[in-house]
């Protein structure tokens, strides 16, 4: 074996895809792969076993790739009818520090891809390695797991991350599992007629063989269907010097030509008018270079907008638009670009291209709703980032950031997305009166001042006709008390911040809203359909009746569990506290569950690698 100091510790991860389709997928799924592991007994506990990667020692200075492939072939013979698994190649992934008796040394992890899983029944052999579903292994794998030795756990976690990264690189996975070069050469036949003189081939052919004998030998080796032989090869026929064609230079012997008599056309007339086309092209380039950039309107929730130049045209990203908004770095971190129509609102990712979303909005509406896409007119908005923690928002002091947050909060309040007790709504209404109309004036702000039109600007639309007229005295009373209070600053951004402070404890504040349906049992024979808004924020999940705007359920993270249904058409909620189960049917179930995972901190590394077609994540 050689000196122990010259032996290198090597771990081998033998992986194979379950089917050919998974190689062409741009999304990484651990369940698409299988990995070869071997079970060994725990020290002192023969009945308990743990799984480890294949491991061996290799002599330094030898061909590592060949040694590893031979080791894999020999190790897998018991589980493959003594055939062994032929690795396609050997890829060094990473080196890992060893612990225990080998502390201070490093071991290399090599990845060996093998052929796609076939339909043959697996052979079990005691003490031999076995293929396991990679997803099942990763579910129980951690650095402290008792199911694996510590170095195997670290290597499996690194391998999972490495495979996810490879899926993001174009053509990386197909190249990893591509047949080895030696597999792509089916056979090799050398024509002995061209071998060096006197050198014998494997079969003993030599230069003395005739063309016919060489032909027979090559046909037997290649199993050719047809062989075309030059009939003149090896014959005694003499070549002929007969001329096929004679070309005579008519100017030969006439002396130097008189160039003054030769009429050369003007350069502008050459190439059949290409100069005109070139001039037109230059003119178009000049016009395009002086043409101003196309602009797009980014609206705020108060109806105002800013036109932003699209320096990259249709390929301009959300990140580039945010930079074009001329907001400070502090302000940019609180907001992002949303694409919104009447009944669908989506927060875009930094790398999304909003103009492309605007162009395919009818397709998006069809995919995510049952609405008529022709009635949904999309626009781009600057809105609060749904991922913004409330603790961070409470520290915001910038007046512009407070104004944008206030405008969005007021919009949500008036649309009925902030279900609250009457006392809270009356307080918010009095604050809006102070912000809109300034200090209270007894002559101006009388009982009839709060008509239906004015109430619509301070009270949720769902309350205007049902309760608002009974609140007018209480609203005016709080408005008067607020105006005369010396402890409250009357500066606009202080009042706007005070409005936000009163909104922070509302369960649905800062939520992204989706639409869906819940079926309840109206009687023993039929079911009642309730259309709902599904709100998701950093606090939890909230269901609102779409018609009455009444808050039906509000669940904080940690008190409930969720599960995505078949084909992303619904999701199920199980409340741990009150043991309540219900199903929400919606085409937006995939977006809702992904946002729940992200805001609750349950998003795993493999989940983050998944591309999301529309938003959030």
The Cα–Cα gap between 378 and 348 comes to 13
List own/partner pairs for 417-420 with CB under 8 A and 24 or more apart: 417/508, 417/511, 417/513, 417/533, 417/535, 417/544, 417/549, 418/460, 418/503, 418/506, 418/508, 418/509, 419/506, 419/507, 419/508, 419/544, 419/549, 419/550, 419/551, 420/506
The Cα–Cα gap between 547 and 531 comes to 8
The Cα–Cα gap between 587 and 57 comes to 54
Distances (CA, A) of 552 to 271, 532, 589: 78, 9, 19
Task: Note the pLDDT of residue 602.
Answer: 80
Task: Note the pLDDT of residue 200.
Answer: 43
Query: pLDDT confidence of 448, banded at 50, 70, 90?
Result: confident
Please check the confidence at residue 382 and state whether its pLDDT lies above 80.
yes
Phi-psi region of 444 (alpha: psi -120 to 50; beta: other; left: phi over 0): alpha
Spatial CA neighbour of 10 closest among 80, 107, 86? 107
Please check the confidence at residue 261 and state whether its pLDDT lies above 60.
yes
CB neighbours (10 Å) of residue 500? 20
- Rounded mean pLDDT of the chain? 85
SS3 of 305, please?
A: strand
- CA angle, residues 77, 80, 86, in degrees to nearest 5: 70
93 phi, psi to nearest 5 deg: -90, -55
Structural domains present in the chain: 4-181 (3.90.79.10), 292-415 (3.10.20.90), 420-505 (1.20.80.10), 512-608 (2.30.29.30)
Please check the confidence at residue 38 and state whether its pLDDT lies above 80.
yes
SS3 of 123, please?
A: coil
What are the pLDDT digits (tens) for 182-222? 777 655 555 555 544 444 444 444 445 566 676 677 667 66
Spatial CA neighbour of 318 closest among 339, 294, 300, 303? 339
Query: pLDDT confidence of 407, banded at 50, 70, 90?
Result: very high
The Cα–Cα gap between 375 and 377 comes to 6
Task: Note the pLDDT of residue 79.
Answer: 82
Residues recorded for the chain: 617
**Which tokens belong to 488?**
């409250």
- Residue 322 DSSP symbol: H
Q: Which residues pair with 534 in a beta bridge?
A: 514, 543
What are the pLDDT digits (tens) for 214-237? 667 766 766 666 667 776 666 666
Task: Note the pLDDT of residue 235.
Answer: 66
What are the pLDDT digits (tens) for 501-539? 999 999 999 999 999 999 987 665 677 899 999 999 999
The Cα–Cα gap between 390 and 537 comes to 10
SS (H, E, C) 141-168: CCCCCCCECHHHHHHHHHHHHHHHHHHH
Biggest alpha carbon distance in the chain? 128
**Which tokens belong to 173?**
């996975």
Query: pLDDT confidence of 612, banded at 50, 70, 90?
Result: low
Query: pLDDT confidence of 380, banded at 50, 70, 90?
Result: very high
Tell me the mean pLDDT in the region 99-104. 76
Task: Note the pLDDT of residue 278.
Answer: 84
The Cα–Cα gap between 203 and 308 comes to 77
Please check the confidence at residue 135 and state whether its pLDDT lies above 60.
yes
**Which tokens belong to 514?**
């989706």
- The residue that leads in pLDDT, 64 or 384, is 384
CB 304 within 8 A of CB 411: no
DSSP string, 7-36: EEEEEEEEEEESSTHHHH-SS--GGGEEEE
Task: Note the pLDDT of residue 198.
Answer: 42
């Amino acid at each position: 074996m050689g000196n122990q100091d010259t032996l290198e510790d090597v771990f081998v991860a033998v992986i194979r895809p379950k089917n050919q389709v998974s190689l062409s997928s741009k999304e990484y799924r651990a369940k698409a792969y299988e990995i070869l592991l071997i079970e060994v007994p725990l020290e002192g506990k023969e009945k308990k076993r743990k799984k480890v990667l294949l491991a061996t020692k290799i002599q330094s200075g030898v061909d590592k790739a060949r040694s590893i492939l031979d080791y894999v072939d020999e190790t897998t013979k018991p589980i493959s009818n003594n055939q062994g698994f032929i690795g396609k190649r050997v890829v060094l992934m990473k080196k890992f520090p060893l612990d225990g008796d080998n502390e201070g040394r490093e071991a290399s992890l090599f990845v060996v891809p093998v052929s796609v899983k076939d339909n043959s029944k697996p052979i079990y052999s005691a003490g031999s390695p076995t293929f396991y579903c990679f997803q099942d292994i990763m579910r129980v794998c951690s650095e402290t797991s008792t199911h694996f030795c510590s170095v195997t756990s670290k290597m499996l976690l690194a391998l999972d991350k490495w495979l996810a990264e490879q899926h993001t690189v174009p053509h990386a996975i197909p190249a990893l599992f591509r047949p080895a070069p030696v597999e792509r050469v089916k056979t090799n036949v050398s024509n002995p007629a061209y071998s060096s003189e006197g050198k014998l081939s494997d079969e003993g052919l030599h230069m003395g063989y005739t063309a016919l004998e060489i032909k027979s030998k090559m046909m037997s080796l290649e199993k050719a269907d047809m062989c075309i032989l030059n009939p003149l090869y090896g014959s005694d026929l003499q070549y002929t010097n007969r001329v096929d064609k004679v070309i005579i230079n008519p100017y030969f012997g006439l002396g130097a030509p008189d160039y003054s008599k030769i009429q050369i056309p003007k350069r502008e007339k050459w190439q059949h008018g290409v100069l005109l086309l070139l001039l037109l092209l230059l003119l178009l380039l000049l016009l395009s270079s002086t043409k101003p950039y196309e602009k797009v309107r980014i609206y705020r929730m108060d109806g105002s907008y800013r036109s932003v130049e699209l320096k990259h045209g249709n390929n301009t990203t959300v990140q580039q638009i945010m930079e074009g908004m001329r907001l400070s770095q502090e302000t940019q971190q609180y907001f992002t670009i949303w694409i919104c129509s009447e009944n669908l609102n989506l927060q875009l990712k930094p790398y999304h291209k909003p103009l492309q979303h605007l162009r395919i909005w009818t397709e998006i509406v069809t995919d995510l709703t049952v609405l008529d896409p022709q009635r949904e007119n999309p626009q781009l908005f600057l809105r609060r980032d749904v991922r913004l923690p409330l603790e961070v928002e409470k520290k915001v002091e910038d007046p512009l950031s407070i104004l944008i947050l206030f405008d969005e909060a007021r919009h949500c309040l008036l649309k009925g997305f902030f279900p609250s007790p009457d006392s809270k709504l009356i307080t918010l209404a009095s604050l809006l009166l102070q912000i809109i109309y300034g200090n209270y004036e007894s002559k101006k702000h009388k009982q009839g001042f709060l008509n239906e039109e004015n109430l619509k600007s301070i009270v949720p639309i769902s309350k205007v006709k049902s309760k608002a007229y009974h609140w007018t005295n209480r609203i005016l009373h709080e408005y008067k008390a607020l105006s005369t209070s010396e402890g409250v600053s009357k500066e606009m951004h202080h009042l706007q911040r005070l409005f936000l402070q009163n909104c922070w404890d509302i369960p649905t504040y800062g939520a992204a809203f989706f639409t869906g349906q819940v079926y309840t049992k109206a009687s023993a024979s039929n079911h009642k359909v309730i259309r709902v808004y599904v709100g998701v924020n950093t606090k939890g999940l909230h269901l609102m009746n779409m018609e009455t705007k009444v808050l039906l359920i509000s669940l904080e993270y940690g008190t409930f569990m969720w599960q995505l249904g078949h084909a992303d058409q619904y999701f199920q909620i199980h409340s741990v506290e009150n043991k309540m189960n219900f199903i929400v049917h919606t085409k937006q179930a995939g977006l809702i569950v992904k946002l729940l995972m992200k805001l609750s901190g349950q998003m795993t590394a493999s989940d983050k690698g998944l591309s999301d077609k529309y938003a959030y994540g």
